[in-house]
A and B are shown apart, each in its own frame.
Chain A
Amino acid sequence: MPDKKRKLHYYPGCTLKEKTTHLDVSTYAAMEILGYELIEPKNWTCCGAEFPLNEEKIIGLTAPIRILRQVKIEGGDKVFTVCSFCFNVLKRANEAIMSDSLKHKRINAFLKDDISIDRDSGEKTTDFKQYNGDVNVLHLLEFIRDWVGYEKIRSLIKRDLSGIKVVPYYGCRLLRPKGKMAIDEPEDPSIFEEFLENIGCEVIDFPFKQECCGSYLSLSMPDAASEASYNILRSAKLSGADMLALSCPLCYYNLDTRQDRIKENFPDSPEIPVLFFTQLLAWALGVDEEVLGLDQHYCNPRTALGIDESEVKK
């Protein structure tokens, strides 16, 4: 008899529903095989993308706290994200409300006047529930390590990825600020490597795995971001990798979608496929190629995944 699916709150964030749908879809596909039914908090909004570093910009914390409060109202005690930015903002906002009584008081005061309008029914809800930081915010890599367990993943693997050489790319938001994210040691992380090994890939180390790709500077200072991204891609290629795996949609934009712009500045920039870790997970778990959204990539990852191009269905 198949196991009953366990319900789990999942916060996708704005980019996953519009620009990087392959990250969202591969997450759903992989989590279903692992035995989870994902629930998105009702009426979720953008988390704000950036945790406000100015102590007085408290209003920037209301959106993430409103999302977490909704998870609590729906009976959830944890929520996971795959986007590193969402993870960073939700986790730090949660920590801020727990460690700072003034912030706790002020954010709850903002939320007290909230009128929530249901998107489907148009129904207004005004009942106030105080939020005290009691929802556990997790990244999917962390959830897999601490809750699912690598053993379970290994037992469900359908495809052999052993010939694929992958470099894990952490970027910035997953690990830092030091002491706040607590998912792994920021200067010497291993969670991504362990994940990749357990789904069967050959993991390659490279020196730029924690370097910043340029983040939002790809809009305001595109040349600086191109150089930072070029250094990462070049290092990955020189390390002998077939592909680079990551979790953040903004890193994906800088390292994959912008590869043509990087080439304008650096003609020797290597073409290297960039995949979301959930795509690799779903692929290892036997999910169909169509579901992975491989045609959304600038750099075609099919060959690196061992897919025979001539057999690809039209």
Chain B
Amino acid sequence: MRIKLKFDENEKKFVDRVSELSGENIYSCYQCGRCSAGCPFAFEMDILPNQLIRLVQMGLKEELLGSKALFLCASCFTCQARCPKGINIASIAEAARDLIEPKGKDYFGPEEVPPELADELPQQALVSVFRKFSK
């Protein structure tokens, strides 16, 4: 993927805001890739967790919003446990999701729950998926 580097005020604001919301130092990532090596859902992702951080570092909101990876995080914190800098990518992904989807649109809302599963679904699964992917 060829990315033209430009860093205007708008993008800097985005990076600062992700840092604030996630409580993580975005710039401390030096792209070692241990997060991607350990991520249990990397096999399904279009971009890897370390690439996701790189997009945040460069303030590329559109690319982030278009990535499937942002919605494949199960917040299992394997990346955080293995990161040599202790960065919590789950927090960064959550902050990015909250920032770039402000229009009240759910990524996964109650209407998407298959009705035939209603009897077997544990409450815990419903509550957690809505907490992550609904407004």
Contacts and interface: CB of A to CB of B under 8 A. Distances in A.
Interface of A: 13-15, 18-20, 46, 48-50, 52-57, 60, 83, 85, 171-172, 175-179, 186-187, 210-212, 214-221, 223-224, 227-228, 249-250, 253, 257
B77 to A, nearest CB: 4
Q: Which 8 A-B pairs have the closest CB atoms?
A: A212-B76, A172-B76, A176-B77, A216-B129, A49-B127, A215-B74, A53-B94, A178-B81
B31 interface: no
Contacts of A212: 40-41, 74, 76, 78
By secondary structure, the B interface counts as helix
A15 B122 contact: yes
B123 A15 contact: yes
A50 B75 contact: yes
Interface string B78-118: 10111000101011001100100000000110001100000
Given A212-B76, A216-B129, A55 B20 contact: yes
A218 to B, nearest CB: 7
A194 B129 CA distance: 33
A48 B132 CA distance: 11
A219 B126 contact: yes
A29 B57 CA distance: 52
Nearest to A50: B131
A53 B124 contact: no
Contact of B40 (A46, A50, A211, A216): A211
Contacts of B33: none
8 contacts: A14-B127, A49-B124, A215-B76, A217-B74, A218-B125, A219-B112, A219-B129, A220-B129
Contact of B71 (A19, A53, A221): A221
Contacts of A220: 71, 107-108, 112, 129, 133
B132 A50 contact: yes
A20 B122 contact: yes
Contacts of B86: 178-179
A196 B127 CA distance: 31
Most buried by A among B21, B23, B75, B94: B75
By secondary structure, the A interface counts as loop
Given A46-B127, A220-B108, 15 more contacts: A20-B122, A49-B124, A52-B94, A53-B75, A53-B94, A56-B21, A60-B131, A187-B81, A212-B74, A216-B128, A217-B74, A218-B125, A219-B126, A220-B112, A221-B71
A257 B121 CA distance: 9
Contacts of B40: 211-212, 214, 228
Contacts of A219: 108, 112-113, 121, 125-126, 129
Contacts of B88: 53, 177
B94 A19 contact: no
A253 B82 contact: no
Contacts of A53: 22, 75, 88, 90-91, 94-95
A257 B71 contact: no
Given A50-B128, A53-B94, A83-B124, A178 B80 contact: yes
B62 interface: no
Contacts of B72: 217, 221, 224
Nearest to A171: B76
Nearest to A218: B125
Contacts of B133: 220
A227 B41 CA distance: 9
B55 to A, nearest CB: 18
A218 B132 CA distance: 13
